[in-house]
Structures are given as structure tokens and as C-alpha cells.
Structure 1
Amino acid sequence: MKKLVILASVLVTAAFQAQENDSIQNKFNISGNFESNGQWYTNDVKRQIKHDPIPLRSNNYLSLNATYGKFSAGIQAEAYVNEALLNYNPKYTKTNVATYYANYKDDQWDITAGYFYEQFGSGLALRSWEDRSLGINNALRGGRIKYTPTENLAFTALYGKQRTGFDVANSDIYGFNAELGLSKLLFPHSEWNLNYGGSVVNRSENIPQGVSGFNKNTFVISNRIGVEKNSFYANFEHDYKSPDAVINAGKINYDWVKNGSAYLLNLGYAERGFGVDATIRRIENMLFLSERKPEVYSPENSSLNYNDKIMNYVPSLTKQHHSSLANIYVYQTQNMIAMQFDEKIQKFGEIGGQIDMFYEFKKGTELGGKYGTKIAANFATLYNLAANYSYFNANGDYSPSFTSKFLGADQNYFREFSVEISKKLSPTIRGNISVINQHYNDQYVRGIFQKSIVNATTLFSEATFSFANSRSITASLEHMWANADRKNWLGGSLEYVHNNNWSLFVSDMYNYGFDPNEHLINPTDLFKIHFYNVGATYRQGSTRISLNYGRQRGGLVCAGGVCRYVPPSTGLGLQINTTF
């Protein structure tokens, strides 16, 4: 902690000095951000939760960026005191410099040395990014050059090693990407907008001694085409992954070598007051790691549980809900192979998609009323790939293999349909109501022996009441009916905003349908229970401080379709975020 305090003092002092110089020469500028997420884990007698051996934990991030003309540089320090929050990557320990970079950028060139983030296309081939709530920071350390000779041509070349904890993975990553505005180059007066994108990403990692049958270089080739005209758009992407040792149920099998592929189609139409968007995706064996063998921390825990060393981005194609209860049964993309002979589970990939629709009834119409009415609907369904498979070869030796069917679908992993109606009722009142129906196949999503399918329907409503002097109250009420697992839930929240600085909030989720004889997806809190949370938030300029106390339900926390598991806990939380 002392290291972080000393480093913070030096950086903040430099920032103030630089800002004084900036007022004189208007060339040099320093900006930064500090974020702290702390938790004091307490006893909870009813939940049979005792003090964690290290009850006080915090994740702290301090970043500083400096710019001078076309040059910029930055550094980020991280401190995990006394250790990282529960179930974060065990490599996040103590205090250290996490990332740093230097950059030059003008109208055509963008050159970076050090750590950087990058995404090619949709991210199926490559995406490096940071999400602190999920514990993800898979930046690349090396060099990147971007060249944009015209507004319709852009090229990127990079080399790096992927971050893992405060170190880097034992492999070399090479990448090249091109973006071409074909219609502007070839048909400058066309009403159509046609674009092409192509990428090659290569991971070079030495093969263990005594292993043969595949190359140390594993590459992904991505081709993308996009077309737009007026309100219509369409995008198609195909990715091919070269043969590599298969990750089966989270464990590597060097005797099983297979390629991978992904197909992504997105179609849409949007105009004022109406929009429809459809996405269809097929993925098979598209787990792409900077080290092909996951690190194992315990029989049930590996680096995959922390999204560590993952090079590409394969989010779930489902709606992100504001409802707390609708996020109990969240879906995670099934992009890995899982053939488990003893448990009779065969997962070969995923095929499916979602469709979003939006319509606004105009003001003054029968359904629009005085202020108009908005309605949004979403349907998503994802399936296991159908395949011919076997566990033993012609000699009777255990040798799992399969051949998938291109458009074949088998078990339904997840299905969801939701409708949301939003309406302004008066100058000071607005609200929304939504119905969410979910079908969750726990046996195949998690790959467990015992069959468990949950069918749940959630009714969610929320209203905001605005008053003078920036005051407001937002209240929500929701209920879930489920046929299995913990069955029925009741939830609600209340937030009072006093002014631009202060707000108070309280929320609760109550599981009153618990049945001790029911098979539970998450066998914790074996009784009817309230998951309450109460707190306050203070904002001043670019600084936000939030204090809360409550119970954390064990389960998945997701952002942008990527999730991490959080264990059940009770405690006091403090979050600080400031930008300077």
C-alpha cells in the first residue's frame, strides 16, 4: 500500500505541475484516473458465512496519461490490498506497475510501443481490452503500427505478448488487419456503402517435448463484408482457426487436433421510430488462448474461470437486462468442446442468434397518447451443434472425436423472449414495464450430469418521479415465477436522488420459493433468504464515492455478454472513482 501511496503522490504532483505549464504553452497535458473497489467481508450467522481469512480486500487502479503535441505516454499501477476481491484472478497480488505505453499519432500514422488494446472486426479473431468489474485486462505488450493513407484505407500490424497477471504469456502474437471502403474507392458516386475487412492473427507457442501432430503456430483468418444503403445494413464475417490441440471440458488433449470456425451474420433496418436487428452466429472450437494449456489451480478451477489468456471475444447473443431477477439465469457462450463419457454430456459448439425490434407510437395517436409510447421486443435462442461423434476408435482405444453438421441443431441451451413498454406519463413521471420468459438448460450450459431445466417468467416494472431542484425517486418492483431450482423470487429497489451530489438507494431480492428437496444450480444459502443492499453515493465534479452494505448472491456477474462467477458473501463495500 505504501508503494501505491508514494506513486500516487508523485503522479498527482506531476499532474498539477504539468497543468500549470499547460496554461503557459498549451502543449503539454497530464490527465489521470484513480479507482478503488474495497470490500470488508463480515460474518453472516444465518448464511453460515464466517469472516474470510482476509476480511478486508481492495482492488485499486491508478492511471496517468501525458500528451505533448502528437506524442503521448501513459502508465497504470495496480494494488490489491490486502488481497484482490474474492474470486478475482489469483495472479492479481500486491502492488505493481501493470501497463505502460508510448504513442505517436498524426493524420496517417498511429504508432504504439508498450501495452496496447486492439480489436479486429467483431473480436472473433482478436480482442484485447480491460474490464475491471470482470477482472479482465488482457492487453498486449509489444508494438503496433496503424497506417491510414486515406479515409477509405486503414492497415494495422502488431506484435506482442498477452498480459496475464503482472506478467505476460509464454507465446508470441502477430496480427495484421486491413479495412477497405470498397464503394468509395471503386464507385465513389454509388448510393451503396460497401466495406471489406480482413485479418490474420497468429499465436506462436512452442509445443511440449514429445508432442507432435500439429504446428506451433496457430492462426485465425477473418474475412468481413459490410453493406449499407439508406436505412438498411448487413454484415457478414467468417473466421477460420487452424488445427490445434483441443481443449475438451477445460483440459487440453494433445492427441486430439482440430480446427475451428465462426460464422456471423447481422442484418438490420432502422429509421425514426422503428428498428429491427437480427444476428445469427455459428461457432465451433473457437476458444483462442495465448497459451494453449490452461493453468490449473484446483480440480475445479483453472485460468479459464478468470477469462485469463483469452485472445478473442465471443459474447453471448442475448439481451442485457436491467432486471436483477432476469439476470439470475444468464447465458454464457458455449465456444468450447465438452465430450464427457461418464456424464454423457456432448457439447460441440453453438448455433443460434437473436432478433431485436423497436417501435415508437407517435404522440397524439391512440396508443401513443400525449407523450408517445415505446415498445421493444427481443427473442434469442441458442443450440448445441448437431454432430456425429464417438468416444472410441476402431481398436477400442479411448479417442473422442466428432464431425459437426453445418446447420444442424441439437439440445437447446437457452431461449428467451422479452417485451418492454416505456412511456412518459406526465411531465414528472415516466416508467416502463417488461415481461421476460427464459428457458435455461443448466445440464448443457454448465456440463453437469444431473438434468436441470429451468423455465422462468419475470415481470419487471420501474417508475421515476421527478421533482424540483434535481430531486427524483426511482422505484422498481419485480417478480419471477420458476418451475425449478430456487423457484419464486420477489425483488425491488428504491433510489432517492437529493441533488446532483447525493443519492441513497436500497434494494432486496427475496427467494420465497426455496424447496430443500429441489436440485439447486448453486447449492448455497439453503433456506428462504433476503439478498438486501443499502447504500449512498456522493458525486462532486468527476469524483464519485459510493458506500453500501448488503448480501451478495453467489452467481454470475456479466458485462457485455462476458461473465465471471462471484461467491456468496456479506459485507461493507466502498467504491471511489475520480478523474483529473
Structure 2
Amino acid sequence: MKYYLAAIGFFAALGATAQEQEPKKDYGKVFGGFETNAQWYLNDSERNIAHPEDPLRSNSYLLVNYNYKQFTAGIQVEAYEQQALLNYNPGFDGVDVGTWFLDYKNDKVQLTAGYFYEQFGSGIILRAWEDRALGINTALRGGRIIWTPSDALKFTALYGRQRSGFNVARGDIAGFNAEVSLKKALGLADADLSIGGSFVARNEKLDLPDPVYDELTSAYSGRINYSFKSFYASAEFDYKSKDGVLDQQNHVSADYAKPGNALLLNFGYSGNGLGVDASLRRIENMLFLSEREPTPAGDGVSTSLNFNDKVIGYIPALTKQHHGTLANIYVFQAQARVDYIDPTRMKAGETGGQIDFYYNFAKGTPIGGKYGTDVAVNLSSWYNLPGDYRYVPADYKANFFGVGETYFTDYNIEIKKQLAEKWHSTFYYITQYYNKEWLEGGDKVRTHIIDAEATYNFSASRAIRVEGEHMWADADMRNWASATVEFNFNDRWSAYVWDMYNYGNKVESKQTHYYNLGGTFRTGATRIALNYGRQRGGLVCVGGVCRFVPESTGISLSVSTAF
């Protein structure tokens, strides 16, 4: 560890020297950032919550990069002390080097050794990425070559093993990607056309008698993108060769072992105050892991899959990402795997989509009024794949077209209206259907949610925002109410208080207030946030990917800066 810290000090010294010398001399530059998220978990007798062992915990990251001309080197040191925050990957433990890399780049070629991030197409067959809020870091450790012989051609080849905690998974991953722009070749003036293709292979040794699938699993992807003035459209098809399927205990099984595939379509229009965007997706048996069998987490329940660990593909939920608190109680996670819960609940994937409509009613029109009015409508629906399913003997045949059991629907409208020079308002109406029985076990729930907020700007940097929400739910935890008050004192200081109240819960002891209060200080590239309150147990989602968090109460501190 001391050698890594010495390296960081060396990079910092080089940066200081570069600043002290004459501007004409190039000693390179040091840049990076630091982030820590700490929480002190407290007892909460009203909710029968006892703080965990080691109640003071933190996740911290120090990233230091050094660039000299065409070379860049970097290292990220991570600390999870005394342990990681609750329900993070148990592989994140202690203090160690998380990632490191050395990169060379010129006009035609980029060479990377060490850890790197990459995505092919939409990411369904490969995305190596980091999201600290979700505890995800699936960087590949190995090598990558990117060759760009012209503006119209780009080729990527890579090999590595996927990061898991402070180690790497057993499976070897190799990939190749090609992107070709046909705009110049076809002489397209007002249009753009490009095609792409990808190949990803995962090789993991099998310790199974008479396996019905190979050690090497191959995945292929082909895609096309087209745009003409205000119109655009894209399509992607993905295929994964025959592989094992996880049973209800998350052990690899030969039952239902079949190839997988996915189809993603996107098209839309944007112009003259009108926007339309539609995304349609069908996924069958596309769970793709760098190790076929998830690693037990040590609690007797969870595995590495619960922490989005060792996942090669990126399959987010294509639904609206609501900013309100109540609309995020019942959130949908993409259903990419074959899942045979019982003879009456068998899943092979998902099919569905979402469509967004946006329209700006111009100033001076009857609906636009003095300042204009923005209206956005979002509709999303997701279903199981229809077909023939058999529990014994294990088999299924999914239809390519049609819909099966409804997983989730979310229909909503958002209206933004400036009421006066200093008053801005937003109104939402949301109705959701959440098939908890099929998605996680429990009651099917239908909700209706209203959300209204208003912001008053005292000046360019001082404002107050007030928001109120209410949810009517016909099952599960029933009705909720929520209110938020946020005040921005200036460009640096802000404070807020909010409360979610589950007043409709049929179990009186669970009619709980989830209160929170806190504040934020910003200066330059530094942000410091302090919060005290209660965390509602459930899913926390970023960009359609979710992590489960347990019920807790405590004080949290977040500090981030860049240099």
C-alpha cells in the first residue's frame, strides 16, 4: 500500500513542479478527484432498528491521474472503513487500490493497459462502468486497442477480466467492436447513417459432468443508426449462445439452457416545439455474467448478483426516472433472465417499451400564456414473454411477438408553467401498476399519484422550492403523503427538510414518518452535504439500474472535490 501512496505523492509533486516552472516547459499535469460518503447509523426504537456492528462507516475514493503529452496514467485508491455502507458489495472491504491504468493516445490509435471502461452499442452484451451511488464498478483489467483510421471508421479490440471487489472474476472476456459511418461514402447532406457490429466472448471453466453447453459463451450484436433532419431511428439485435440458467437458489442449472436474444428499437422526432421518442425492447434469456454462478454474500440470502457484480451486460429499465419521492416506491427493474419461480409463474425475459411526447405551447397562445407552457407525457408498459412454459420437464418456447403477464405500467403527465416573473410551477399526475407477485413476491399494486411543486426566485441565486405529493395505493403499504421545503440561500448554501408519511398502512406500527433534513455547501469544485433522517427500505435506482437498501436511521456526510 505504501508504494501506491508514494506514487500518488510523486504525481502530485510533478504537478506542483509544473506550476512553478516557466509556462513554456511542459511537465504534464495532475488531475483527479476525491469523494467520501460516510454514515453514522443510529438506533431507532420506533421502527425496532438497532444500528449495525461498526455503526460509523464510509466509502471513500481518491482518483489521481497524470497526463504528459500523449500518455496518461491513473490510480484510484478506495477505502471502506470500518466497513462499506450497508448493503454494498462485501468485496469492497478495507483500503486498497481499486483501479490503475496506463494509456497512450494519438490521432489514430489508443492503447490502454490496466483497468478500463468500455461499452459496445447500447451495452446489452458489454458495458464496463462505474456508479458509486449504486456500488457498481465492473471495469475490465487487461488491455484495449482502439484504432480510428479515419473519421468514418473506428475499431476496438479488448481482453480482460472483470473487476469484483478488489479482485477480478474468473471468466476471461474478449471483445471486438466496429463502427462505420456511411454519411460521406453515400454523400448524405442532410442525413446521417452508421452501422456497427460487436462480438464478446466469455470463457469460464466448467466443473460439471456432461455439460449441455460450452465453456465459451459467445455474444453478437449488430446495429444501425439513421437520422434525417429532425427525424432519427436506430435498431440493435443481440444474440447470446446457449448457456446455463440460474435456479431459484442462484445455482447454475442445465434446465432451460437455451440461446438468448434481444431486440432494441428507438425512433423519434424533435423540432418546432414538438418532441416524440419511442423505445421498444424484447429480451429473452440475456443475463450475461463473467462468472456463471453468483458468489454468496455471506448473509445466507444475497449473492453477488444482488450487488450488480460480475454483470457483463447493461440492461436498464426503460421507464421514466421520476424525481419525486413517492413515484419511486414502486420501481421496475428489467427482467432479462429466465426465472422459474413455480409452475404458475415462469419468466423468460420481457417485452414492452415506452414513448415520450413533449410539446411547448408558445408564449402568447391561449395555453402558453405570457411565459409559455411545457407539457410532457410518458407511457411505459412491460410484460413477460408469451409462449409455452413447462415446469416438469423443464422447457419453454417463447413467442417473438405478443405480450404475456403484465409486469409494470407507468402513465404520467408533467406540466411546467411559469406563473409570474419569479414564480415557476410543475404539476404531475402518475398512475402505476406494479406486479409485485411476479417481480418480487407480494400483492399486485395499482397507484395514483399527484405531485405539485412551486419555486419562487428572490434573486438569481436565492430561491425557495415547496413540493407536495400524495399516493393512493390499493394494496401493499397503501397510501402515502410527502412534503418538501428547500431553500437556496445563495450560490454556496442550501438547506432542505422533507417527510414521507405512510399513513395508510394497515399495520398501525408501520404508519411511519420518514423524515430528513440537511444542507449543502458548494465552493468551486467542492461540495459538502450533511443529512440526518430515516432511510426507507427498498430500491434506490440510478438510470434504470437499482440497488436494494435496508431500513436505517442516521447521519450522513458527503464530500466531493475535483482538482
TM over 0.5: yes
Question: Offset at 1:51?
Answer: 2.2
Q: Report the counterpart of residue 564 of structure 1 in structure 2.
A: 547
CA contact (8 A) 1:79 1:95 kept: yes
Map 1:435-474; keep pairs closer than 5 Å.
Answer: 435-446=429-440, 448=441, 450=442, 452-468=443-459, 470-474=461-465
Amino acid in the other structure paired with 2:101: Y
Distance 1:558 1:166, change over 3 A: same
From 507, 524, 540, the counterpart of 1:516: 507
CA contact (8 A) 1:348 1:387 kept: no
Q: Report the counterpart of residue 46 of structure 1 in structure 2.
A: 46
Map 1:328-343; keep pairs closer than 5 Å.
Answer: 328-341=329-342
Q: Report the counterpart of residue 523 of structure 1 in structure 2.
A: none
1:412 maps onto 2:403 in alignment: no
Amino acid in the other structure paired with 1:259: P
CA offset digits 1:205-257 (Å, max 9, x no partner): 11115242221110110000111111111101000000011123433103542
Amino acid in the other structure paired with 1:103: D
Return the alpha-carbon distance in structure 1 between the equivalents of residues 385 and 76 of structure 2.
42
CA offset digits 1:330-382 (Å, max 9, x no partner): 0001111111337x321111000000010000011111111110000000000
Question: Offset at 1:18?
Answer: 4.2
1:55 maps onto 2:25 in alignment: no
| Partner-residue secondary structure (3-state), 2:533 | strand
CA contact (8 A) 1:153 1:178 kept: yes
Question: Offset at 1:290?
Answer: 0.4
| Partner-residue secondary structure (3-state), 1:313 | coil
Question: Offset at 1:544?
Answer: 0.5
Return the alpha-carbon distance in structure 1 between the equivalents of residues 511 and 17 of structure 2.
57
| Partner-residue secondary structure (3-state), 1:16 | helix
Aligned residues: 561
Q: Report the counterpart of residue 244 of structure 1 in structure 2.
A: 243
CA contact (8 A) 2:61 2:79 kept: yes
The more displaced of 539-548 and 7-16 is: 7-16
Map 1:260-339; keep pairs closer than 5 Å.
Answer: 260-297=260-297, 298-339=299-340
CA offset digits 1:151-184 (Å, max 9, x no partner): 1111101111100000001011110000111232
Amino acid in the other structure paired with 2:524: G
Q: Report the counterpart of residue 224 of structure 1 in structure 2.
A: 223
Return the alpha-carbon distance in structure 2 between the equivalents of residues 76 and 21 of structure 1.
27
Q: Report the counterpart of residue 397 of structure 1 in structure 2.
A: none
Distance 1:362 1:196, change over 3 A: same
From 524, 528, 532, the counterpart of 1:541: 524
CA contact (8 A) 1:22 1:29 kept: no
CA contact (8 A) 1:8 1:62 kept: no
Return the alpha-carbon distance in structure 1 between the equivalents of residues 172 and 80 of structure 2.
28
CA contact (8 A) 1:30 1:64 kept: yes
Distance 1:230 1:27, change over 3 A: farther
Q: Report the counterpart of residue 168 of structure 1 in structure 2.
A: 168
| Partner-residue secondary structure (3-state), 1:443 | helix
Q: Report the counterpart of residue 521 of structure 1 in structure 2.
A: none
From 389, 403, 419, the counterpart of 1:425: 419
Q: CA RMSD in A?
A: 1.9
Distance 1:279 1:94, change over 3 A: same
CA offset digits 1:520-572 (Å, max 9, x no partner): xxxxxx42111011011111111111111000000000001000000000000
Return the alpha-carbon distance in structure 2 between the equivalents of residues 139 and 118 of structure 1.
8
Distance 1:527 1:256, change over 3 A: closer
The more displaced of 354-363 and 189-198 is: 189-198
| Partner-residue secondary structure (3-state), 1:184 | helix
Distance 1:438 1:22, change over 3 A: farther
Return the alpha-carbon distance in structure 2 between the equivalents of residues 274 and 391 of structure 1.
48
Amino acid in the other structure paired with 2:417: K
| Partner-residue secondary structure (3-state), 2:85 | coil
The more displaced of 207-216 and 126-135 is: 207-216
Return the alpha-carbon distance in structure 2 between the equivalents of residues 11 and 108 of structure 1.
27
CA contact (8 A) 2:75 2:100 kept: yes
Return the alpha-carbon distance in structure 1 between the equivalents of residues 155 and 554 of structure 2.
49
Return the alpha-carbon distance in structure 1 between the equivalents of residues 354 and 540 of structure 2.
21
Amino acid in the other structure paired with 1:279: S
Q: Report the counterpart of residue 179 of structure 1 in structure 2.
A: 179
CA contact (8 A) 2:256 2:396 kept: no
CA contact (8 A) 1:246 1:256 kept: yes
Distance 1:406 1:97, change over 3 A: same
Matched-pair identity in %: 48
Q: Report the counterpart of residue 396 of structure 1 in structure 2.
A: none
Return the alpha-carbon distance in structure 2 between the equivalents of residues 433 and 137 of structure 1.
36
Q: TM-score, normalised by structure 1?
A: 0.94
1:206 maps onto 2:194 in alignment: no
Return the alpha-carbon distance in structure 2 between the equivalents of residues 401 and 75 of structure 1.
48
| Partner-residue secondary structure (3-state), 1:46 | helix
Distance 1:423 1:204, change over 3 A: same
CA contact (8 A) 1:222 1:239 kept: yes
Return the alpha-carbon distance in structure 2 between the equivalents of residues 244 and 474 of structure 1.
52
Q: Report the counterpart of residue 511 of structure 2 in structure 1.
A: 528
| Partner-residue secondary structure (3-state), 2:305 | helix
| Partner-residue secondary structure (3-state), 1:43 | coil
Q: TM-score, normalised by structure 2?
A: 0.96
Amino acid in the other structure paired with 2:423: I
CA offset digits 1:448-503 (Å, max 9, x no partner): 3x5x1111011111111111362111111111111111111110111111111111
1:259 maps onto 2:259 in alignment: yes
Return the alpha-carbon distance in structure 2 between the equivalents of residues 26 and 274 of structure 1.
49
CA contact (8 A) 2:155 2:179 kept: yes
CA contact (8 A) 2:11 2:66 kept: no
Question: Offset at 1:12?
Answer: 4.7
Distance 1:334 1:213, change over 3 A: same
Q: Report the counterpart of residue 195 of structure 2 in structure 1.
A: 196
| Partner-residue secondary structure (3-state), 2:447 | strand
Amino acid in the other structure paired with 1:385: L
Return the alpha-carbon distance in structure 2 between the equivalents of residues 174 and 355 of structure 1.
35
Return the alpha-carbon distance in structure 2 between the equivalents of residues 220 and 413 of structure 1.
27
Q: Report the counterpart of residue 579 of structure 1 in structure 2.
A: 562
Return the alpha-carbon distance in structure 2 between the equivalents of residues 5 and 495 of structure 1.
40
CA contact (8 A) 1:460 1:476 kept: yes
Question: Offset at 1:273?
Answer: 1.0
Q: Report the counterpart of residue 481 of structure 2 in structure 1.
A: 490
Return the alpha-carbon distance in structure 2 between the equivalents of residues 248 and 23 of structure 1.
63
CA offset digits 1:182-217 (Å, max 9, x no partner): 2322x1245432210100000011111524222111
Question: Offset at 1:427?
Answer: 2.1
CA contact (8 A) 1:21 1:28 kept: no
CA contact (8 A) 1:158 1:176 kept: yes
Q: Report the counterpart of residue 555 of structure 1 in structure 2.
A: 538
Return the alpha-carbon distance in structure 2 between the equivalents of residues 433 and 125 of structure 1.
38
CA contact (8 A) 1:22 1:28 kept: no
Q: Can you give the 5+ residue segments of structure 2 that lack an aligned partner in the other structure?
A: none
CA offset digits 1:26-82 (Å, max 9, x no partner): 451100100000000001111111121110000000000111111111100000010
CA contact (8 A) 1:19 1:30 kept: no
Distance 1:256 1:8, change over 3 A: same
Distance 1:314 1:549, change over 3 A: same
Question: Offset at 1:272?
Answer: 3.4
Return the alpha-carbon distance in structure 2 between the equivalents of residues 89 and 294 of structure 1.
12
CA contact (8 A) 2:15 2:28 kept: no
